[in-house]
Amino acid sequence: DADVTQTPRNRITKTGKRIMLECSQTKGHDRMYWYRQDPGLGLRLIYYSFDVKDINKGEISDGYSVSRQAQAKFSLSLESAIPNQTALYFCATSGRNQETQYFGPGTRLLVL
Amino acid sequence: SQQGEEDPQALSIQEGENATMNCSYKTSINNLQWYRQNSGRGLVHLILIRSNEREKHSGRLRVTLDTSKKSSSLLITASRAADTASYFCATVRGGSYIPTFGRGTSLIVHP
């Protein structure tokens, strides 16, 4: 089984809808991250969490919120989706004091 | 904002040839990492080189780091069609454990 899983893998939604993307990991890592990837722009950090009680904004947090339900679970919510949030979203994890990141398979989101 | 910028943006070669990708960055770093992404998939870590290292090898991969020029290169020797992917450099600054990713180099290896 994959160490980092994301659900759903694909999602189509309409402008104004609230949606949640979920991430689970079995690596036992403390640190979890949410990125979005747009063509030609690489990966940009949305939010990150160094442990269950720690949540930090990344480069592009506006329009997003997160919840760290447990060490193994980190969810990303779009409160009111807009078309320019159409992107590929990745969850990643890393161990404490380790810089190497382990990525999930991604969620492809289309906002109409 | 991107810290590392890969060059070229796209590279097309024949199987068996070597592929070289470069990464330039702007501020001092603690380490630099290279990741690979197959189309539409998650990134996979390839190699990490620290600021006090100049060269590292892993199988057919060779990474160099020149901190005076703020640049790194990734060399894939004897490329295979299966090496077709996007390759990203990611830099980690001192005091941070979070890599900042570049925009990537798209490599196509023709069989």
Question: Is the pLDDT assigned to residue A1 strictly greater than 70?
Answer: no
The one-letter amino acid at B76:
I
Sign of the alpha-carbon dihedral angle for B64, B69, B71, B74: negative
Residues 6+ apart with CB under 8 A from A39: none
Q: Convert the pLDDT of each residue in A13-60 to its tens digit.
A: 999 999 999 999 999 999 999 999 998 788 999 999 999 999 999 999
Q: Is B95 on the interface with A (CB under 8 A)?
A: no
One digit per residue, the tens of pLDDT, for chain B of length 111 reads 456 788 899 999 999 999 999 999 998 999 999 999 998 889 999 999 999 999 999 999 999 999 999 999 999 999 999 999 999 999 998 777 889 999 999 999 999
- Among chain A residues, the shortest Cα distance to B6 is held by A42
CA-to-CA distance for A35 and A96, rounded, in angstroms? 19
CA-angle at A102, arms to A97 and A106, nearest 5°: 140
Mutate to test the interface with A, among B21, B44, B45 (most CBs of A within 10 A): B45
Tokens linked to A80? 């009111």
Please judge whether B43 and A41 are an interchain contact, meaning their C-beta atoms are less than 8 angstroms apart.
Answer: no
Contact (Cβ atoms closer than 8 angstroms) between residue B37 and residue B27: no
Beta-bridge partner residues of A48: A33, A56
Q: If you search the block for the tokens 């989101």, which residue do you land on?
A: A109
Mutate to test the interface with A, among B50, B93, B97, B103 (most CBs of A within 10 A): B97
First to last CA, chain A: 33
- Among chain B residues, the shortest Cα distance to A97 is held by B97
Q: Strand B61-66 vs strand A31-38: parallel, antiparallel, or unpaired? A: unpaired
